[in-house]
Amino acid sequence: MTKDQIFEFFRRLAEDNPEPETELEYGNAYQLTVAVALSAQATDVGVNKATRALFAKVETPQQMLDLGLDGLIDHIKTIGLFNSKAKNVIALSQLLIEEYGGEVPDTREDLVRLPGVGRKTANVVLNCWFKQETFAVDTHILRVGNRTGLAKGKTPEAVEAKLEKRVPQPFRLHAHHWLILHGRYVCKARTPECWRCGQVDLCSFRKKVTEVPKGRA
């Protein structure tokens, strides 16, 4: 994609959805951090189902410690890898209390120190809560970046670096949300729904599916 094409790509996404948001449900920075940590290799829908009852009881790291490991597991046992995730959430809650006064830090360097929080999770928290211009590259963004020609790279880190260089203002704050939603609902993994994509003329994907498959609408 050229610079002009990239600008137009995001302009159209912004026109369709001016204020995109994560589909994870949360009430504060701590709940967001927990939700994103739980979402690894899980769907947002599945995480939300598990955390609604949990977040009705737990709003702070101390409340999570009071709930305890077994209590947490009971809430999130429908999520994949729930045992290891529960241990990480308890550990990150303890670290937040011991070193950050119970508050979620606002730098990537501090966030990735928390158990179970990698670069992608940190980027989501920085973007969604602290309104920093970060690019949290998940499988959807990795696919969309490569397929469209927007940001090609073999790893999330490589795609993130390309996005950092190529995404223009005023689209940088919301860019990763637009790309995730585009990959989740339009530029799907198995069959990209190019026939209903508003950016199809800008995309460099050679095997565009421009006709609606039988049985699809």
Strand, helix or coil at 36? helix
- Residue 128 counted as an annotated binding residue: no
Helix axes 175-185, 3-16, angle to 10 degrees: 80
Compute CA distances 23 → 7, 32, 35, 152, whole Å: 25, 11, 11, 25
- Residue 203 counted as an annotated binding residue: yes
As to burial, measured by CB atoms within 10 angstroms (0-12 exposed, 13-18 middle, 19+ buried), residue 196 is exposed
As to burial, measured by CB atoms within 10 angstroms (0-12 exposed, 13-18 middle, 19+ buried), residue 188 is middle
Amino acid identity for residue 96 in this structure: L
Residue of 199, 186, 201, 173 lying closest to 18 (CA atoms)? 173
Give catalytic residues, as residue numbers: 120, 138
Residue numbers in the known binding site for [4Fe-4S] cluster are 187, 194, 197, 203
Residue numbers in the known binding site are 187, 194, 197, 203
